[in-house]
Amino acid sequence: MQRDRKIIHIDMDAFYAAIEQRDRSELRGKPVIVGGHPEKRGVVMTCSYEARKFGVHSAMPSRTAFKLCPHAIFLPARFEVYRAVSAQIMQILRTYTDLVEPMSLDEAYLDVSENAPDFYTATQIAREIKRHIQSQTHLTASAGVSFNKFIAKLASDYQKPDGLTVVTPEQAASFLESIPIQKFLGVGKVTGAKLKELGISTGADLKRLSEEQLRTLFHERGSQLYAYVRGEDNRAVQPTHVRKSVGKEVTLQEDTADREQMVRILEHLAEQAARRLKELGVRGKTITLKVRWSDFQLITRSVTVTTPMQDAQEMMQYLRPLLAKLDSGNRAVRLLGVSLSNLLFKNGTGQPEKVTAPSLWDIERFP
């Protein structure tokens, strides 16, 4: 059984409603319902946490929501805005790893096993992602960190809003046992009622059923539930976007102004990038040097060549002059990076390649 992966699930809090409250300050702290109009047989798409206190929830008829919370503010959905914010969030997530699988506008899985050798580091990445989303979008996200998708998703839901829940392999059994049965089933409330009659209300109760009993109750999903409640879920995080570049970067232990040392670091990065290009079987036509100065200013300089390259020595032919031309002022360097884009397969044909490989920029920010 796989227990060594580090999976993060990110889910935005009250997504549509939170965007409305962000964009219209007079709505903050108030019950806001996004969805259909109560007089027009619409349904609630989502609502602010202030409205949830009154029992309002997604998929409820707006008319019912109005009865529960008559002073709520009902708003129509602004999908273009939500899509744009979603794209911004997914872009933020992709700066941490290429292995991002968006599940909906406000939800995604990340596999950070490569960047995070342990749960402590994976948790730091999750915390950093939450901060990053907050500072760029002024919205809060909840995060779950665990060793598989099923548990990571339950974990992100565990302490909403603005939560961060980590479930290590040691904690998984007791965590799963404590979870209410509805969370395992999603919205299948009919079955939920049936289970309650049978006295099954938590993961612990579910665990007492045999695989056969679960199959009788849930058909094909029965075996899946049998595995999930035991912490077994080997589904991979499957990114859907196209790889545009391959690169390596490093934040230095100590800033340096020594050009010779910079060249040595670039040689090292170029070798790593070359190895990655070879693993993927691609060559790059554009090479980019990335430098962050000691005052945090970030600059990139690129060259596009006619013959696509894969070899570190070749890369250095371009990186050395790019570096030499940089005017550092009085600044030292704190980060160096090398990346190749305009990727082509060996036979010269273009992409697209579906990404199944790790990190675009292997972030070394969390040692």
* Min dist. Cβ of residue 52 to Mg ion (A): 12
Cα(43)–Cα(63) distance, integer angstroms? 8
Q: Would you count residue 111 as binding Mg ion (CB under 5 A)?
A: no
Contacts of 125 (CB under 8 A, 6+ apart): 8, 96, 112, 115, 116, 366
Stretch touching Mg ion by CB under 5 A, among 10-18, 63-71, 85-93, 342-350? 10-18
Residue found under tokens 């976007």 = 241
Q: Would you count residue 12 as binding Mg ion (CB under 5 A)?
A: yes
The residue from 8, 33, 45, 152 that contacts ligand TTP (CB under 6 A) is 45
Q: Which amino acid appears at position 145 of this protein?
A: V
Q: Would you count residue 160 as binding ligand TTP (CB under 6 A)?
A: yes
Whether 107 sits among the annotated catalytic residues: the reply is: yes
* Min dist. Cβ of residue 157 to Mg ion (A): 9
- Selection from Mg ion, ligand TTP, none that 59 binds (CB < 5 to 8 A by kind) is ligand TTP
Q: Which amino acid appears at position 68 of this protein?
A: L
Name the catalytic one among 20, 50, 101, 107: 107
Which burial class, exposed, middle or buried, applies to 341 when counting CB atoms under 10 A from its CB (0-12, 13-18, 19+)?
Answer: middle
> Between the CA of residue 200 and those of 183, 186, 220, what are the distances in Å?
13, 15, 19
Stretch touching ligand TTP by CB under 6 A, among 12-20, 83-91, 213-221, 345-353? 12-20
Helix (H, G, I), strand (E, B) or coil at 208: coil
- Selection from ligand TTP, Mg ion, none that 302 binds (CB < 5 to 8 A by kind) is none
* Min dist. Cβ of residue 104 to Mg ion (A): 8
| Torsional sign, CA 153, 154, 160, 166 | negative
End-to-end CA distance of the chain: 27
- Selection from ligand TTP, Mg ion, none that 328 binds (CB < 5 to 8 A by kind) is none
Q: Would you count residue 106 as binding ligand TTP (CB under 6 A)?
A: yes
Binding site for Mg ion (CB under 5 A): 11-12, 15, 106
Binding site for ligand TTP (CB under 6 A): 11-16, 45-46, 58-59, 106-107, 160-161
